[in-house]
Amino acid sequence: MDFDLIIVGGGHAGCEAALVGSRLGFNTALITLDKNRISQMSCNPAVGGLAKGQLVREIDALGGEIGYCTDMTGIQFRVLNKSKGAAVRSHRAQVDRKRFRQFMTETVNLQPKLTIIEGEVCKLLIQDKICYGVGLVSRETINAKKVILTSGTFLNGLIHIGEKKIPSGRMGEKPSTALSSFLADMGFEIGRLKTGTPPRLNGNTIDFSMFVVQEGDQPPPYFSNRSNRGNFNQIPCYLLYTNPSTHEIILNNLQKSALYSGRINGIGPRYCPSIEDKVVRFKDKKRHQLFLEPEGSDTSEYYINGFSSSLPEDIQLKAIREVEGFTNVEFTQPGYAIEYDYLPPHQLKPTLETKRIVGLYLAGQVNGTSGYEEAAAQGLMAGINAVQKLRGEKPVVFDRSQAYIGVLIDDLVTKSTDEPYRMFTSRAEYRLYLREDNAEDRLSQIGHQIGLVTDETWDNFQKEKKLRQGLLREFQKMKIKIPGIEKSITVSETARRPDIDFYEIYKNLPSEVAVDFPVFEKVAIEIKYEGYLKRQEQQLQRFKKMESMHIPENFDYTEIRGLKKEAIEKLNRFKPNSLGQASRISGVSPGDIAVLMVHLRSR
């Protein structure tokens, strides 16, 4: 069998990559360990959230799938950080875990030019440092021009529940053991990470009356402009808290926790600590917040966010039953910790192709990230860049001022990571510009050029954009009177004032302005940040200038006088492709950059 493109792994990264390849007309194979577990959500049944929502919007603007799939299978939609400015607001959706999987599985199954193959990849076919296919455990080989590896937590996955250890890629699924050692033999650096997931609860054994209810927004805020689902009956989430009795049980049984008994070597995420970690590290805190998320619309199962644990099942149960409302709760699945191999991402180019092997791309959790959104973004970009290479066209790499996707990949390849990497808005220097509302303005043209954004979606976007540009001009002159504000001022001025709500302005617009609130809001947001973005302009120019100072691919830093030893080591390790990227590598000082700048100039 011969393909243009092989994707190894059917998670969120794998699905995006496979859809990119096949939709752009290349014969694509998706190899998965289990056809029935494609796009399985291994942790919480939610998509989006702070900074992650921006990623989903960007993926959608480029013609990716995760946003649309979430919209179609979501059971609750909200916008987070509503009390803050629009630049840091993010969509978040609870999804029906089963329906999300079914929807995405159907999408890939029905996709022409995409073949789903069940099997375990144990090696890559490589000659002269060029990857040309994969080998399966069944001894079968499959050739392809490009291979994208999206193996998630499956490389040497090992689940810990108390003292129990289960080799596993996800609960109930076998791990992939041979591939990791194959990659190590090929000279790749392999690291080990840890993450955890909380128990799943039987909703019929929960007393919900004890909790604070959290409803979805009305109307439901969808991710994708393609979604046309309208209003529906959303399912609530619940807020609740642990208490000192819970903490006491956990503290008394710490030695039984896989994490605290030293049985886990991998490094876990600091931003998503286990309940053991929280209780130990914040001894003074009397309570920790928990968040109860529904697993779907036709199941009574619940996910208890904030209670990730590697304690034995009976201790987990005993501790959580101390929480009011959970007195009689039963588990459908205990919490567990999972350790897995990853490839520290400094081994990648910004296209996500490995520096070591031509034609081999890595995307998703195997690169040390966490989160469906981060994985999907990488899958999309690996897919796009593999295709660009097949087409003989220029790579698509976003810089930090263009997209969160750019920030994500730049961080990975420039800083690598030794803990599971998650996106935050504070990672983005230009976040006042990298907003959810303008994702299409920033990216759709590229998505359309590549061929992922359909003509229909593109035309609709163009129409909306034209409308917005007209309003933007009119609002500079159009005066309105807002109740509570003494004199009438221009619409632009009202939008810039922090004390006036956008909806308040919308309600007071003259009736001849025919515009829906969501479109008006986009215009208002643009006006609001205009001034601040202008102030960043100089900084942006400086950034762009540094990014444009190219460093040749096989540049040897060893011989450069004036570079400090640590800098030489780091620069040789990361092989940055621009002076800007070099300046972000930790251990490389401004002095080193000045030396490098002088050297590049004098060449």
Partner 1 sequence: MYNPDDTICAISTPAGVGALAIVRLSGRNSKNISEKSFKGGKLEDKKATFGNIIDSNGIIIDDVVMIWYKAPGSYTAEDMVEVICHGGYTVSQQILELFCNAGARLAQPGEFTLRAFLNGKLDLTEAEAVNSIINAKTLMSKQLATFNLEGKLKNKLDMINSKLFELISVLEAEIDFSDEEIDKLNYNEIQDNLSDIQARIEELLSTYDIGRIAEGRAQIAIVGAPNVGKSSLFNALLRSERAIVTGIPGTTRDYLTEYVNIGGYPVIMTDTAGIRQSEQEIEIIGINKSRELISNVDLCIFILDASRPVNDEDREIAEYLNKYAHILVVNKADLMDKRGYKLNDNFSDRNPLYISALRRTGLDILVKEIQKRLTIDLIEPVEGALLSQRQYDCVQRTQKSVGNAITALAQNESEEVIISILREALDHVGELSGRITSEEILNNIFSKFCIGK
Binding site for partner 1 (CB under 8 A): 49-51, 80-81, 83-85, 87-88, 271, 288-289, 424-426, 429, 431-432, 498-499, 532, 535-536, 539, 542, 560-562, 564, 589-595, 597-599, 601-602
Gap between the Cα atoms of 50 and 89, Å rounded: 7
Report which secondary-structure segment, H or E, holds 589.
Answer: none
CB 328 within 8 A of CB 205: yes
Which amino acid type is present at position 158? L
Nearest residue (CB) to partner 1, 453 versus 505: 505
Report, in Å, the least distance between residue 249 CB and partner 1: 21
Of 114 and 240, CB closest to partner 1:
240
Q: Give whichever of 108 and 593 is closer to partner 1, judged by the CB atom.
A: 593
Query: Which CB, 185 or 486, lies closer to partner 1?
Result: 486
Residue with tokens 């919490």: 335
What string of DSSP letters covers 153-177?
Answer: T-BT-EEEETTEEEE-SBTTB--B-
Q: How far is the CB of 598 from partner 1 (least distance, A)?
A: 6
Question: In sequence order, which ranges of 214-371 are alpha helices (DSSP H)?
Answer: 244-252, 275-281, 313-320
Q: How far is residue 151's CA from residue 120's CA, in Å, rounded to a whole number?
A: 11
> What tokens appear for 129 in the block?
């440092």
Which residue, 237 or 258, is less far from partner 1 as judged by CB? 237
Side chain identity at 85, as an amino acid letter? G
**Closest to 246 in 3D by CA, of 209, 289, 205, 216:** 289
Cβ neighbours for 84, distance < 8 A, ≥ 6 positions apart:
none
- Whichever of 109 and 282 has its CB closer to partner 1, that residue is 282
CB of 45 to partner 1, least distance (A): 16
Which is nearer to partner 1, 46 or 452 (by Cβ)? Answer: 46
In angstroms, what is the minimal distance from the CB of 163 to partner 1? 30
Tell me if the bond preceding 219 is cis, omega within 30° of 0. Answer: yes
Least distance between partner 1 and beta carbon 84 (Å): 5
The least CB distance from residue 600 to partner 1, in Å, is 10
Tell how far CA 478 is from the center of its chain: 41
Between CA 344 and CA 119 the distance in angstroms is: 26
The answer for residues whose C-beta is within 8 angstroms of residue 47's C-beta and 6 or more apart is 56, 66, 67, 70, 74, 92, 93, 95, 223, 372, 373
Closer residue to partner 1 (CB): 162 or 306: 306
Residue 542 beta carbon to partner 1: minimum distance, rounded to whole angstroms: 7
Number of Cβ atoms within 10 Å of the Cβ of 267: 17
Smallest gap from residue 289 Cβ to partner 1 (A): 5
Residue 447 CB, nearest approach to partner 1 (Å)? 26
Q: How far is the CB of 281 from partner 1 (least distance, A)?
A: 14
Beta strands 2-8; 141-149: pairing state: parallel
Output 129 or 497, the one with its CB closest to partner 1.
Answer: 497
* CB of 190 closer than 8 Å to CB of 198: no
DSSP 3-state assignment of 195? strand
Distance (Å, rounded) from C-alpha 524 to C-alpha 471?
10
| Minimum CB–partner distance for residue 287 and partner 1 (Å) | 8
Cα separation, 148 vs 387, whole angstroms: 11
When the beta carbons of 244 and 470 are compared against partner 1, the nearer one is 244
Nearest partner of 41 among 416, 370, 297, judged by Cα: 370
Residue number, 88 or 405, with CB nearest to partner 1: 88
Q: Which is nearer to partner 1, 82 or 477 (CB)?
A: 82
How is residue 499 annotated by DSSP? Answer: T
Q: Give strand ranges (E) for 46-140.
A: 46-48, 74-80, 90-95, 114-118, 121-127, 130-136
Q: Tell me the closest approach of the beta carbon of residue 246 to partner 1, in angstroms.
A: 15
What does DSSP assign to residue 410? H
Which C-beta is closer to partner 1: that of 28 or that of 274? Answer: 274
Shortest CB 544 distance to partner 1, Å = 13
Phi-psi region of 359 (alpha: psi -120 to 50; beta: other; left: phi over 0): left
Question: Smaller CB distance to partner 1: residue 105 or 581?
Answer: 581
Rounded least distance, CB 308 to partner 1, Å? 14
- Sequence-ordered list of residues with C-beta below 8 angstroms from that of 110, at least 6 positions apart, any chain: none
The angle at the Cα of 335, spanning 334 to 339, to the nearest 5 degrees, equals: 130
Separation of alpha carbons 329 and 306, rounded Å? 16
Q: Give CA–CA dist 211/241, Å, rounded.
A: 9
